[in-house]
């Protein structure tokens, strides 16, 4: 049980004391300082690429646990406040460290994916997430494989949901991606490949045709 818990929430990168804190938060939220827990999770998400892509799930479980235990939402509130602060300072973050910026985007997208309210996505996050993706679609970011990779992964995971929330913004975003793919010289060939794949992915209704799947994902046979 211990082992599967660690793997499921990907908390191996934390030190033992923090792991213990998180495990307690999952089972008995009122017994821990939930503000501290949310800060620990957010801080780690900004540093750890792997964790940033999976942290949404542990957040969701803690939110549910707290709601069930005492109808509270201290954790969720703190988490969202931190997310909002980081969102506000995202341009500075990007200047300081592209990696941290990319981690932030992965994290907020993951939270959007997992933290549903009555099975609906949190409306408050829709436009901020779009804002982040639009930033990633700017010329300077498209020239950066790290950022393109982050962008296309986000679109694979939550593109369809985002589109349902605002078709117009998704259309606008994809205009930028098309333009970038066609016109931008600073794109690497990998960057172009990633963009082409996601363009086909959306055009196919957020799924790849069989032939496209083979093209992009099959092993090359010598």
Binding positions for other proteins, rule: CB under 8 A: 30, 67-73, 76-78, 80-81, 83-85, 87-88, 90-91, 117-118, 120, 122-128, 131, 134-135, 138, 164-169, 172, 176
Taking the least distance from each CB to other proteins, the nearer of 22 and 83 is 83
The smaller minimum CB distance to other proteins, of residues 18 and 39, is found at 39
Helix (H, G, I), strand (E, B) or coil at 84: helix
Q: Which of 134/216 has CB closer to other proteins?
A: 134
User: Least Å distance between CB 19 and other proteins?
Assistant: 25
Cβ at position 120, least distance to other proteins in Å: 7
CB of 42 to other proteins, least distance (A): 13
User: In this structure, are residues 141 and 161 in contact, taking their beta carbons and an 8 Å threshold?
Assistant: no
Separation in Å, CA 59 to CA 19, 34, 117: 14, 11, 13
SS3 (DSSP) at 144: coil
CA distance to 31, 43, 58, per residue, from 24 (Å): 7, 19, 12
CB of 211 to other proteins, least distance (A): 32
Residue closer to other proteins (CB basis): 58 or 115: 115
Q: Give Cβ neighbours of residue 29 (< 8 Å, ≥ 6 apart).
A: 62, 65, 66, 69, 70, 72, 75
Least Å from the CB of residue 212 to other proteins: 28
| Least Cβ distance, residue 194 to other proteins (angstroms) | 21
Q: What are phi and psi of 37, to 5 degrees?
A: -60, -45
**Which residues are CB-neighbours of 221 under 8 A, at least 6 positions away?**
none
Cβ nearer to other proteins, comparing 90 with 202:
90
Residue 57 vs 135, nearer CB to other proteins:
135
């Amino acid at each position: 049980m211990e082992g599967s818990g660690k793997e499921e929430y990907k908390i191996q990168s934390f030190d033992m004391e923090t792991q213990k804190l998180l495990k307690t938060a999952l089972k008995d939220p009122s017994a821990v300082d939930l503000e501290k827990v949310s800060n620990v999770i957010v801080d780690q998400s900004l540093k750890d690429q792997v964790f940033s892509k999976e942290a949404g799930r542990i957040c969701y479980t803690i939110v549910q646990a707290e709601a069930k235990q005492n109808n509270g939402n201290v954790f969720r509130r703190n988490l969202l406040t931190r997310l909002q602060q980081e969102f506000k300072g995202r341009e500075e973050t990007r200047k300081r460290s592209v990696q941290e910026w990319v981690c932030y985007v992965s994290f907020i997208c993951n939270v959007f994916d997992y933290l549903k309210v009555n099975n609906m996505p949190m409306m408050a996050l829709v436009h901020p997430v779009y804002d982040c993706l639009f930033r990633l679609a700017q010329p300077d970011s498209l020239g950066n494989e790290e950022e393109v990779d982050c962008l296309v992964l986000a679109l694979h995971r939550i593109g369809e949901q985002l589109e349902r929330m605002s078709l117009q913004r998704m259309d606008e975003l994809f205009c930028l991606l098309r333009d970038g793919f066609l016109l931008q010289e600073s794109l690497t060939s990998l960057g172009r490949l990633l963009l082409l794949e996601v363009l086909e992915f959306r055009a196919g209704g957020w799924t790849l045709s069989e032939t496209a799947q083979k093209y992009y994902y099959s092993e090359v046979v010598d």
